[in-house]
Chain A
Amino acid sequence: MTASVLSRLGTRRAILAGCLIFVALSVSGCSSNAHIRPQVFWDSIFHPSPALVNGIGLTLLISVVAQALGVILGVFAAIAKMAKFFPFRLVANLYVWLFRGTPLLVQLMFFYYGFPTAGIFKWPAVEIGPVFILPEVLAGIVILGINEGAYMAEIVRAGILSVDPGQTEASKSLGMNYGQTMRRIVLPQAARVIIPPLGNEFNNMLKTTSLLTVISVFELYNTTSVAAGRNYATFELFAGAAVWYLAMTTVWGFVQARIERRFARGTGPSQGGGAGPRREGFAARFMSLRAPIEQ
């Protein structure tokens, strides 16, 4: 019987149908479980409390700003790592070594609580136009960004090294200086190599913001945690939080696919043949429902 179902539906569809049945059973199991209040779960998604909305917004804001900071730091660190001038290399290597070699949690505690305790530095609140940024949020953004920069440095360096040295030579031979060569010729080409791992990093960043709970930032995780402590709907609320995280990373998946296509300019199949980059979008890659093309 299994064989006949498989042959009629096709393997992929059969598996998909199996998944749907599993989900349906899970949902019905949950709704018949007396310990679970499905309404709390649905509300956390369709009618989130203002605190939760705020938490989601904060998670997004911190992720985007920290990632941007990380990319900027990463570019400079990567260039410094490849500099002829020895002190630049030393500083960049030291930075990457320190921030990749210690846990983020330790960095957060050290800089947010350690520094003020030792009387070195106290994180201020910042007001940028209508936006008021609390000290812990500022600290979270900066520390996450610096930490991310250390990882981005290696990614950017790999991207720069992937660009044909002939490109730099051509650029130099036209009289362009180092800065122009990097900005106009090398980095745009390196971007194609940098963006897929960068997407990975941002996906991680969205989730890593949950660690900021230790410095009392009320982002998505912390808000959920506090609410759960109040009404004991731990199962429902964290299921809701998971859905929110999943929604953010999924949307990012689509955005990333778009950006990758944008940077693939001029790298389509060449006249001489040869494989260009994959141009499928996120959905196609994720679902892969269509059978692979026969070779």
Chain B
Amino acid sequence: MTIAHDLLGAIGGVPRPETDVVVEARDVNKWFGRLHVLKDVNLQVKRQETVVIIGPSGSGKTTFIRCVNHLEKIQSGRIFVNGHLIGYRETEAGGGFPIIGGLPVVNRLPIVGRRSNGSSGAMKLVEDKEKNIAAQRQEIGMVFQRFNLFPHMTALENIIEAPIQVRGMARDEAETVGRALLERVGLAAKEKVYPNQLSGGQQQRIAIARALAMKPALMLFDEPTSALDPEMIGEVLEVMKELAREGMTMIVVSHEMGFAREVANRVVMMDDGVVVEEGTPDMVFSTPTHERTKTFLSKIL
């Protein structure tokens, strides 16, 4: 991104090209049964930006990033990644089926679909075909709290599985890419080792390499260090910092405030399914405006 572009952007002169926004969540609502876990969540993540979502447990932050690659369904609102609506197709209200049965509210907030050509009728969300969802997920890497490495495959096999199966990459080529990724996360020597013989930190680094092997446009990290012993947190964060420096677009749910302060372009504070506050790490950590943020930070800092 050029400086001129930045300046123009700053004074609000030039509309950014659409491709510059990687993630756009608009008025996302989600219920687990009767529990309203995401309430009109709005969030934008631009290319090469690292956004860290913080907040107490149960605030909906993990649920939110799981919605971004459609591991969870949403009941209203829209999530776009690279301009593609994630997990759903839009149809004119009245056509199609309600996306969930049994809930009192389906699309309570009528939202004008972005491709509704002139007609201002409310649009309904219909879950997309599995094939399309799978295609969208190829662009979105995800790292889980509990690693979820495939235990019946070696470290290298874990990494090359999706490129071979999904992208149709030749095995040799995939192995070359895989070895380079192992090198990058500092585990070149562990190529032939099964996950259960690796430490938590090593497993998580393999999991990051596995996600990167698909060359995603966006990486989601769901509390990547929460299941680790304290002395292993550093090595995983180091890999993530490196990734952020290289310009990967990342959404990180984390309790690592040091990481957020150092790496995040933006920190988002969530509480009770609502985005309470967002801003630069400095703003959020040093001069939080919202009472809920202040009490949360006072407890963990």
Interface size, chain A (Cβ < 8 Å):
25
Closest Cβ neighbor of A163 among chain B residues:
B151
Bound CA span A271–B161, Å: 24
Contact in complex: B151, A189 (CB < 8 Å): yes
Closest Cβ neighbor of B69 among chain A residues:
A173
Closest Cβ neighbor of B164 among chain A residues:
A184
Known: A170-B144, A184-B165. A271 touches B137 (CB 8 A): no
The answer to the question of A268 belonging to the interface, with a C-beta cut-off of 8 Å to chain B, is: yes
The answer to the question of B289 belonging to the interface, with a C-beta cut-off of 8 Å to chain A, is: no
Bound CA span A173–B65, Å: 12
The answer to the question of A130 belonging to the interface, with a C-beta cut-off of 8 Å to chain B, is: no
Contacts of A267 in B (CB 8 A): 151-152, 196
Q: Which of A175, A177, A266 has the most CB of B within 10 A?
A: A175
Contacts of B131 in A (CB 8 A): 177
The answer to the question of A258 belonging to the interface, with a C-beta cut-off of 8 Å to chain B, is: no
Known: A164-B148, A189-B151, A266-B153. A174 touches B194 (CB 8 A): no
The answer to the question of A280 belonging to the interface, with a C-beta cut-off of 8 Å to chain B, is: no
Bound CA span A196–B154, Å: 24
Contact in complex: A175, B144 (CB < 8 Å): no
Chain A 241-284, CB within 8 Å of chain B: the 1/0 string? 00000000000000000000000011111110000000000000
The answer to the question of A61 belonging to the interface, with a C-beta cut-off of 8 Å to chain B, is: no
Q: Choose among B69, B140, B152, B197 the residue that contacts A270 (Cβ–Cβ < 8 A).
A: B197
Bound CA span A280–B77, Å: 56
Closest Cβ neighbor of A180 among chain B residues:
B165
Contact in complex: B165, A270 (CB < 8 Å): no
Contact in complex: B166, A176 (CB < 8 Å): yes
Contact in complex: B162, A175 (CB < 8 Å): yes
Chain B 35-69, CB within 8 Å of chain A: the 1/0 string? 00000000000000000000000000000000001
Chain A 174-214, CB within 8 Å of chain B: the 1/0 string? 11111010001100110000000000000000000000000
Contacts of B197 in A (CB 8 A): 268, 270-271
Closest Cβ neighbor of A264 among chain B residues:
B152
Q: Choose among B130, B153, B195, B214 the residue that contacts A174 (Cβ–Cβ < 8 A).
A: B214
Contacts of A166 in B (CB 8 A): 144, 146, 148
Contacts of A188 in B (CB 8 A): 152
Q: B216 → chain A, closest Cβ, in Å?
A: 9
Q: Which of A266, A267, A268, A270 has the most CB of B within 10 A?
A: A266
Chain B 105-146, CB within 8 Å of chain A: the 1/0 string? 000000000000000000000000011001101101110101
Bound CA span A268–B141, Å: 29
Contacts of B165 in A (CB 8 A): 176, 180, 184
The answer to the question of B198 belonging to the interface, with a C-beta cut-off of 8 Å to chain A, is: yes
Q: A228 → chain B, closest Cβ, in Å?
A: 49
Bound CA span A194–B221, Å: 33
Closest Cβ neighbor of B158 among chain A residues:
A170
The answer to the question of B150 belonging to the interface, with a C-beta cut-off of 8 Å to chain A, is: yes
Size bracket of the B interface: 20 to 34
Bound CA span A271–B142, Å: 25
Contact in complex: A172, B150 (CB < 8 Å): no
Q: B284 → chain A, closest Cβ, in Å?
A: 28
Closest Cβ neighbor of A170 among chain B residues:
B148
Contacts of B166 in A (CB 8 A): 174-176, 180
The answer to the question of A169 belonging to the interface, with a C-beta cut-off of 8 Å to chain B, is: yes
Contact in complex: B161, A169 (CB < 8 Å): no
Contact in complex: B210, A178 (CB < 8 Å): no
Contact in complex: B161, A184 (CB < 8 Å): yes
The answer to the question of B14 belonging to the interface, with a C-beta cut-off of 8 Å to chain A, is: no
Contact in complex: B148, A177 (CB < 8 Å): no
Contact in complex: B71, A169 (CB < 8 Å): yes
The answer to the question of B28 belonging to the interface, with a C-beta cut-off of 8 Å to chain A, is: no
Q: Choose among B130, B161, B194 the residue that contacts A177 (Cβ–Cβ < 8 A).
A: B130
Q: Choose among A176, A265, A266, A271 the residue that contacts B162 (Cβ–Cβ < 8 A).
A: A176
Contact in complex: A178, B214 (CB < 8 Å): no
Bound CA span A164–B152, Å: 13
Bound CA span A178–B130, Å: 8
Q: Choose among B135, B142, B161 the residue that contacts A173 (Cβ–Cβ < 8 A).
A: B142
The answer to the question of A167 belonging to the interface, with a C-beta cut-off of 8 Å to chain B, is: yes
Name 14 extra pairs, CB < 8 A, besides A166-B148, A265-B152: A170-B207, A174-B161, A175-B166, A176-B162, A177-B134, A184-B165, A189-B150, A266-B151, A266-B154, A266-B196, A267-B152, A270-B197, A271-B196, A271-B197
Q: Can you list 25 contacts pairing A with B, beta carbon distance less than 8 Å? A: A169-B71, A170-B142, A170-B144, A172-B71, A173-B69, A173-B137, A173-B141, A174-B137, A174-B138, A174-B166, A174-B210, A175-B137, A175-B166, A176-B162, A176-B166, A180-B165, A180-B166, A265-B152, A266-B151, A266-B153, A266-B196, A267-B196, A268-B197, A271-B196, A271-B199
Give the interface of A toward B (CB within 8 A): 164, 166-167, 169-178, 180, 184-185, 188-189, 265-271
Closest 8 CB pairs of A and B: A175-B138, A170-B148, A174-B162, A266-B194, A270-B196, A173-B142, A166-B148, A175-B137
